[in-house]
Structure formats: C-alpha cells, structure tokens
Structure 1
Amino acid sequence: MTALRRIALTAVAAPLALALAACGSDEQATEGAPKGEPIAAVPAPAGTSWVETAAVTPEDGYRIGNPDAPLKLVEYASHTCPACAAFSTSAVAELDEYVAKGVVSYEIRNQVHNALDLTLAMLMRCGAPETFHPLANQVWANLDQVMNTAQQNEAALNQAMQAQDATRFQKIADAAGLLDFFAARGISRDQAMQCLADPAKGEAILQRSQAQSEELEVTGTPTFFLNGSKLEGSNWAEIEPILQNAGAR
C-alpha cells in the first residue's frame, strides 16, 4: 500500500475532523537561534522586488526573498490548519516588509495532514513559483469558506477520496469546490485539472512531507526554523521578536 493510498483511507475515515485537529505542534526549542546586531538592508536587483522573487528549494519548499538572505525562515505548514491560517493573516504584511529589505527569506514547506490538504498542495504548484505564496495566503484567508464548502459536499468528497484511478485528486477538488476557488484566483479549471491528473506528483509531495517531518521532528503545524534552528512559537507575536533578535529590523 502506497503512502498516498494510506492517507486517502485515513481521510475517508474522518474526512474533515483531521483538517481541524491535525494542527499545532509539541514543545519546541529555540536554542541555537541566531542573535546579532541589526543587519543592513540588501537592495534587490534593479527593477525587481525581493517579495516577488520566488524559487523552489531542493526540499520542494517555496521561498520568497533574497536567496542569500542572512536570515532564512522556514515554516512547515498545512493548508487546512487553522493555526497556519492565523499566522498567515496576522504576519503576511509585516513579514513581507522584512523580506523586502533582503534580510529575511521566507520558505513554506508542506506537512500534509489529509487528502484535502494534499490536493491543495498540488493546486498551489499549478502556477509559477511566484504564485505559491499568494495562493497559500488566499486559502488561509478564506479557510472557513474552503472548509464549509467541503463539509456541505461531504458525501461526494468521501466518495472522491476513495477513487482508485488517476482522477482521484480531480474528483476531490471538484467535490470540495476547489476548482472554482482557484479559478477565481488565476488558475483555470483546465489548468487545475491538468495539475491534478498525475497521482505520482501527490505521492512525491506526501513522501517528502513524511520524510522531512520525521528527520526534523516536525510533529505539527505551524513549525518554524530559523537558519536551521527549530523555534519556539507558532504565531507572529512570538516569531517576530526572534527575527528581530537575530538582526532583522
């Protein structure tokens, strides 16, 4: 049985409870987090902005900002996690200011919690790397709407999750109303259907999620790392002072 099939079966057993419950992490450690004097801004190349500079990392994370930023913030996140949504809505504007200065880069990596979460992770990758963060923020800003739509079509969603062929993720997205949601945000239905047509892509995302979570002891979301050190805290009020102590201003 593949990892993909296992997560599909788990999601069928409790299709939406997981989306709300598999969130939050255990006690973390901020020991080793960098500390330092204020770091001077690093101008972006002429005609560009660090906030709009995006790349896919070797870990399959999506990073915005100066690739050589002295402070590298990584978030392990679930697209169906309310705590991740709370972080996004409270942090995005201020975090973008640090990124814009070239001092902080910000990378999102997936920790997959359920089949709906995995479908969202695949849809985030439909566009160019520059669209991943905006799409993720849109999902988190409208998470109640996304989850309510899925709940209203719970029977169809359960049936879609049990599909055994290459249409599984397409059926999940259709049943959960995700095709319309993403179409309203620049990813056409045809483009989304094409992105969801290859289950091997979903399997790869899931395998990386599981391997990295085990290696780095990421037990819930959101979990943050700064320059490789796991941070204590899951909200912006806790993360921003750590960035400032490390030299972000």
Structure 2
Amino acid sequence: MRPRFLLPAIALFALAAPAATPAQPAKAGAQKDWSHNVVATTEGGFRMGNPDAPVKLIEYGSLTCPHCAHFAKDGVPPLVANHVKSGKVSFEFRNLVLNGIDGIAALLSRCAGPTGYFRVTEGLYATQAEWVGKIGAISEAEKKRISALPQADQFLAVANASGILALAGRSGVTRQKARQCFADKDKQNRLSEMARAAGAMGITGTPAFLINGEKVVAHEWAELEPLIRQAGD
C-alpha cells in the first residue's frame, strides 16, 4: 500500500485546519545524566536514556496530534527529569504518521539525526498550532504551484512555507540536507514500516505507549507515571 504521506502535494493541504546534546565527561562522584545518550533504534525510533534501563518506555506519536503536543509539554519534561536522567527509564519515540503534513514533519525531524532529533521534535510540538495554521493559510494558487513540483521539492516547499524548515535549521538541518532527506525513499519506507508495526500491535491512535513491550492504557502523564513507577518496583 502506498504510504499516505506520499500523496500528491495538493492532498497534503486537506489537513489545513532540548533534545540531547553531546555528553560531557562526568565529574568525579557526579551521577551520569542519561538524557544525553540518544541513539537511533533498529525499530526506527530514537531512544533517549540508559539502554539497560529496567523500564523501557516507547511512545508512538504523530507530530500533528494535539494530544501528543500536550504530552510533550506536560509529560516529557518530568519524564526526563525524574526518570530518564537517572538511568531508571529509557524513552523511545517512534513516529506514527497519520497524514501528509505529519509525514513531512517526521522526515524533517529525523533528518536531524540522534543529536538533534528530540530538539526538533520538541520544537515542532511547541509550535504545532502555528505551523499547521500557516499551511492552512497557503493560497490556492500557491498550492497549485507546489503540486506541480517534483515530490522532494513539494515537501521542501511545504516545510519552508510552514516555518518548520527554519526550525530544523537551528539543529543543523540545512535546506540541502532537508531536500536529500525528503528524496530518500528508505527514510519514507521506514516511516511506513513503523506504521505497519504499530497497526500489528493494535495501535490506531496517538499518543500510544508501551512499557517493557506491553501496550498500556494511558494518554496523560498523570495516568502514565504510576505505571512507570509500578514497572520499576
């Protein structure tokens, strides 16, 4: 099945409606801050934290999902500060693309690589209403012009018009690098593979969470944190 985010650009407009930094040597006697340890996983996500943490949290999220943006604002900061930094919990984010605009944003965030991925994702969630709104405000004439471009240039034009290209640029994603990522079929296929994997687990909405490989019923931090603490007992 053709990935939904690879539709012609005109279909993208139907929606219109700090991450880790390189670790520094720990001072003698200081506890290691595991939030600086970020890697790409074989399953397609990006994981922050101790790879041997006793509690492994995975979030499937959409960058255009308001509920995911709410969790990014209210849940991720205490998750990192109180659980990930100590090494007790690792946090992996896997993109679950739900629409064309989401696909563009996901490709752009992943283009930042492990050193910038969480920073770009955080920025996208913090400004979600703004950049989605800018896409909705694109004129019909501009939509038509964008739709006539090659696919990678379509994605680049939408990213530029929405402001997310500039946002990613602050984490080292240049215009040229972004276009290369948008043209990379393997990167697009990886997003599709993650969506299929999520579907196989019965995940159809976002945000969705797994703790130590088991899907849990929680959508808010107040619901999720007790489950994390229970898994660590």
Q: Same fold (TM over 0.5)?
A: yes
Identity %: 33
Q: CA deviation at 1:216?
A: 0.9
Aligned partner of residue 109 in structure 1, secondary structure: strand
Q: Distance in 2 between matches of 1:6 and 1:187?
A: 21
Q: Which runs of 5+ in 1 are unaligned?
A: 21-43
User: Cα RMSD (Å) of the superposition?
Assistant: 2.7
Q: Residues 78-93 of structure 1 correspond to what in structure 2 (within 5 A)? A: 78-93=62-77
* Alignment partner of 1:152 out of 137, 143, 147: 137
* Contact 2:58-2:93 within 8 A present in 1 as well: yes
Instruction: Name the structure 1 match of 2:111.
Output: 126
Q: Distance in 1 between matches of 2:68 and 2:136?
A: 20
Residue deviations 1:13-36 (CA, integer Å, cap 9, x gap): 76215xx7xxxxxxxxxxxxxxxx
* Contact 2:44-2:194 within 8 A present in 1 as well: no
Residue 210, structure 1, aligned to residue 209, structure 2: no
The verdict on how the C-alpha distance between 1:148 and 1:166 changes in structure 2, with shifts beyond 3 A counting, is closer
Residue deviations 1:192-211 (CA, integer Å, cap 9, x gap): 2332233x134313321331
Q: Residues 42-191 of structure 1 correspond to what in structure 2 (within 5 A)? A: 47=26, 49-97=33-81, 98-153=83-138, 155=140, 156-157=142-143, 160=146, 163-191=149-177
Residue deviations 1:146-195 (CA, integer Å, cap 9, x gap): 11211121533575357554433223322333222322454333332332
Which amino acid counterpart does residue 110 of structure 2 have in structure 1? R
Q: Which runs of 5+ in 2 are unaligned?
A: 18-22, 27-31
* Contact 1:122-1:201 within 8 A present in 2 as well: no
Q: Distance in 2 between matches of 1:13 and 1:138?
A: 21
TM-score, normalised to structure 1's length? 0.78
Whose relative contact order is higher, 1 or 2, with alpha carbons under 8 Å and at least 6 apart? 1
Instruction: Name the structure 2 match of 1:232.
Output: 217
Residue deviations 1:43-94 (CA, integer Å, cap 9, x gap): x995353101011111111000000111000000001110000000001221
Aligned length: 221
TM-score, normalised to structure 2's length? 0.83
